[in-house]
Amino acid sequence: MQKQDIPPRRSLSRTELKGRLEALNQSNKSIKTFSMSLVMSISRHSGFPLSKSFRCEAVCEAPDKLRMKGYAGGMAPAFDLVTKSRRIRLFLPTRNELIEGTRSRFKELPVVEKHGIGPLLEAELAHLFVPKLAEKDLFWEAAPDGVWLYKNGSHDGTWRRTLLDFETFLPIRREVFSEAGELLLEVQFSDYRSVGQAHCPFSVNLISKTNGFEVKIVIGSMNANIPLAGGAFSMHVPEGVTKIPPDQVETKIQEPTDSP
């Protein structure tokens, strides 16, 4: 049996790295707003099994505003999610409940844990589909299949690294670690397509290493730099909704088996 050759590590100077990062970010900055239609599947095979799928419509405004509406079983509304920087609002129509708070507090909630929403918040949705890479306070290392780019300093104490394809310099994998170095989340990017002047992944997989959830997102269509309505990120909440701040969710939310 002939031994397979191991691809050599490729070298990259700081000047070349900086130039390629600037070029990628410049093309992505050309997208100020976008809308998309997608299918999101959430599954878990360990612990309590879970398998559900949503048809979603989303709009985003750079740098960090995103709204996503999910529908289950045709046109039945399942959730309405708005993120603005670290602030999050999640409306569950079938429960007539609104949950509000910051990203770090949301991640620990039972409702988030049970339904697999955690990986979406951990990955920072607004930055998934038009990836922007840090150009300062970072370091990198070459690998056989690309270049690992490291970045510290998240608000919640995590740090992350992103694997870039050496030829295209597009992200193909991202890993999020705890402050102690535990791998929390893996994000896989594929099926890149041209959207305006940028290249965006039309397939994104999020794999939680802490609770076994996997979220698969497949984009059907994406339109860049569309005019957004004035209330695009203003959630309409019906009268009589139960408003629950995150610190009260553990005691107030009782999970029915059929909740979205």
Q: Residue 122 above 80 pLDDT?
A: no
Q: What is the mean pLDDT of residues 162-174?
A: 91
CB 203 within 8 A of CB 189: yes
When mean pLDDT is compared across 5-9, 104-108, 146-150, 227-231, the lowest value belongs to 5-9
H/E stretch holding 160: strand 159-164
User: Three-state DSSP class for 77?
Assistant: strand
Q: What is the pLDDT of residues 27-78, one digit of tens each?
A: 888 899 999 999 999 898 776 778 889 999 999 998 889 999 999 877 788 8
Q: How many helices (H) and strands (E) does the chain have?
A: 5, 14
Q: What is the pLDDT of residues 8-40, one digit of tens each?
A: 456 677 788 888 888 888 888 889 999 999 999
Please give the model's pTM, rounded to 2 decimal places.
0.84
Rg of the chain over Cα atoms, rounded to whole angstroms, equals 19
Q: Residue 258 above 50 pLDDT?
A: no
What's the confidence (pLDDT) of residue 247?
62
Token pair 């507090």: residue = 105
Pick the CATH number of 20-223 from 3.30.110.70, 3.10.20.90, 2.50.20.10, 3.40.50.460: 2.50.20.10
Q: What is the mean pLDDT of residues 200-206?
A: 94
Q: Residue 170 above 60 pLDDT?
A: yes
Q: Tokens for 55?
A: 């048809």
pLDDT band at 246 (very low <50, low <70, confident <90, very high): low
What's the confidence (pLDDT) of residue 102?
81
Q: Which residues contact 99 (CB under 8 A, 6 or more apart)?
A: 88, 89, 90, 91, 92, 106, 109, 111, 244, 245, 246, 249
When mean pLDDT is compared across 56-60, 139-143, 197-201, 219-223, the lowest value belongs to 139-143
Pairing type for strands 242-244 and 97-102 reads parallel
Q: What is the mean pLDDT of residues 85-91?
A: 86
Q: Tokens for 182?
A: 């535990």
Pairing type for strands 159-164 and 146-151 reads antiparallel
What's the confidence (pLDDT) of residue 136?
64
What's the confidence (pLDDT) of residue 69?
93
Identify residue 118 by its one-letter amino acid code: G
Looking at per-residue pLDDT, the higher value among 108 and 87 belongs to: 87
Domain ranges of the chain: 20-223
Q: What is the pLDDT of residues 177-188, one digit of tens each?
A: 988 889 989 999
- The rounded distance, in Å, linking the Cα atoms of 9 and 5 is 12
